[in-house]
């Protein structure tokens, strides 16, 4: 356990040292955070994953029986595999006015800053509580936070407002796109490539589906963004992975297509999926079944990240703008856990240190100035909650 008062940089170094790539357990990091909070007399509730390999942590500083403000951050990071790092990604490395390491920006910098402010929070005799939530599996669909969020207002306190500390360069973000990912699996029939009439080529069928998705992509670009707030200014459709075939002389039996949609907050996702299914089942599948009655096209969800919709004048927005010294809000095109809090009835904004431009890259870094700005923001929050 750390002795004495600990700086944001020291805490960030400890957090970065935990390899919490989403495929790994985060329990060691959660244990570190739990022990750190206990040293200041703050109890935690651990919310484990179904398999027990991961967990979220929820803690309250101040009176637990009233609403309060939730500060939310995820503990998992994206892989470093194959990336040309010039430093050890799991050792925080200072260089000039930057701190390099996986997760330094996305988003252990925010979590470290929250933890560094805990001594101020506990000493402030808060009249409005501050809640801390550290979650898992954000990077693979924002799924890990869901079990904890569902307990808010049930057996955990229901915050009046939530600030998700994803990197926004400390700008207040009130809206982001949804993120929904699918896997479409085309199954045909193998045959010798010299006798294609005896088979059903899954890759040819998949190519037709990809062409249809490309038509949707073009239509959505044309439709644009009526709000004029997003970049890119439209709902996007992307095909990200195609996997099919066995060998050069076999008609391919199976082909998988991973594709995703990042929708504007008011985008009608079910209508697009229904249109895709009509094309798949009504146009493409009959061609496969002409020679392979057992052929199929099946589309499954991989994950869905709900959008964050603007709530003008909400407590979260007004509070964050006041603390950040700003008078306007922004949007981002990436997804966050914020939509899950909003769906639970909690007004939510996104505001955290670092630039998303540095996230997921080799030599990820956060500027020290961004940590200082976040410290000022949270110091203001402590003062507000002590009134």
C-alpha angle 204/208/209, rounded to 5°? 115
263: helix, coil or strand? coil
The distance between the two most distant Cα atoms of the chain, rounded to a whole number of Å, is: 80
Using an 8 Å Cβ cutoff, are 128 and 65 in contact? Answer: no
DSSP β-bridge partners for residue 44: 59
Kindly state the helix (H) or strand (E) to which residue 100 belongs, with its residue range.
strand 98-100
Query: 147-154 long-range CB contacts below 8 Å, 24 or more apart?
Result: 147/47, 147/49, 147/56, 148/47, 148/56, 148/58, 149/337, 149/340, 149/341, 149/344, 150/344, 151/47, 151/58, 152/70, 152/341, 152/344, 152/346, 153/344, 153/345
DSSP β-bridge partners for residue 261: 180, 237
What are 75's two structure tokens? 């503990």
Phi-psi map region of 114: left, alpha, beta (phi>0 left; psi -120 to 50 alpha): alpha
Q: How many CB atoms lie within 10 A of CB 303?
A: 15
Q: Give catalytic residue positions.
A: 76, 138
Q: How many CB atoms lie within 10 A of CB 313?
A: 8
Give the burial class of 300: count Cβ atoms within 10 A of its Cβ; 0-12 exposed, 13-18 middle, 19 or more buried: exposed
What are 158's two structure tokens? 């229901």
Q: How many CB atoms lie within 10 A of CB 129?
A: 22
Show the DSSP H helices in the chain as ranges: 8-17, 27-38, 108-116, 118-123, 146-151, 202-223, 269-279, 285-289, 315-324, 338-343, 368-385
What are 124's two structure tokens? 């402030």
Give the burial class of 60: count Cβ atoms within 10 A of its Cβ; 0-12 exposed, 13-18 middle, 19 or more buried: buried
């Amino acid at each position: 356990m750390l002795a004495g008062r600990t700086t944001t940089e020291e805490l960030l170094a400890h957090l970065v040292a935990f390899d919490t790539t989403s495929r790994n357990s985060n329990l060691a990091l959660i244990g570190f955070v739990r022990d750190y909070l206990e040293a200041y007399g703050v109890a935690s509730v651990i919310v484990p994953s179904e398999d027990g390999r991961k967990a979220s942590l929820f803690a309250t500083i101040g009176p637990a029986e009233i609403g309060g403000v939730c500060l939310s951050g995820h503990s998992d990071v994206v892989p470093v595999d194959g990336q040309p790092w010039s430093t050890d990604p799991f050792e925080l490395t200072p260089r000039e006015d930057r701190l390099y390491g996986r997760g330094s920006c996305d988003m252990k910098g925010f979590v470290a800053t929250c933890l560094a402010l805990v001594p101020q929070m506990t000493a402030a005799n808060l009249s409005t509580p501050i809640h801390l939530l550290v979650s898992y599996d954000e990077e693979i669909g924002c799924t890990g936070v869901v079990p904890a969020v569902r307990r808010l207002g049930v057996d955990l306190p229901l915050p009046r407002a939530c600030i998700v500390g994803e990197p926004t360069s400390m700008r207040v973000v009130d809206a982001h796109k949804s993120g929904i990912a699918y896997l479409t699996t085309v199954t045909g029939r193998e045959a010798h490539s010299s006798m294609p009439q005896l088979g059903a080529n899954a890759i040819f069928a998949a190519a037709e589906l990809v062409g249809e998705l490309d038509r949707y992509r073009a239509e959505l670009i044309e439709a644009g963004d009526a709000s004029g707030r997003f970049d890119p200014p439209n709902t996007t459709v992307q095909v990200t992975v195609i996997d099919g075939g066995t060998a050069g002389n076999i008609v391919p039996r199976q082909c998988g297509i991973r594709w995703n949609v990042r929708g504007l907050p008011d985008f009608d996702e079910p209508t697009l999926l229904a249109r895709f299914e009509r094309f798949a089942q009504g146009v493409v599948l009959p061609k496969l079944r002409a020679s392979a009655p057992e052929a199929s096209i099946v589309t499954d969800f991989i994950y869905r990240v709900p959008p964050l919709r603007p709530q003008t004048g909400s407590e979260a927005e007004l509070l964050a703008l006041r603390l950040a010294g700003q008078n306007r809000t922004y949007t981002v095109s990436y997804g966050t856990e914020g939509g899950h809090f909003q769906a639970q009835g909690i007004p939510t904004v996104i505001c955290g240190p670092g630039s998303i431009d540095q996230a997921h890259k080799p030599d990820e870094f956060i500027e020290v100035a961004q940590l200082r700005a976040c410290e000022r923001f949270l110091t203001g929050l402590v003062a507000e909650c002590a009134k």
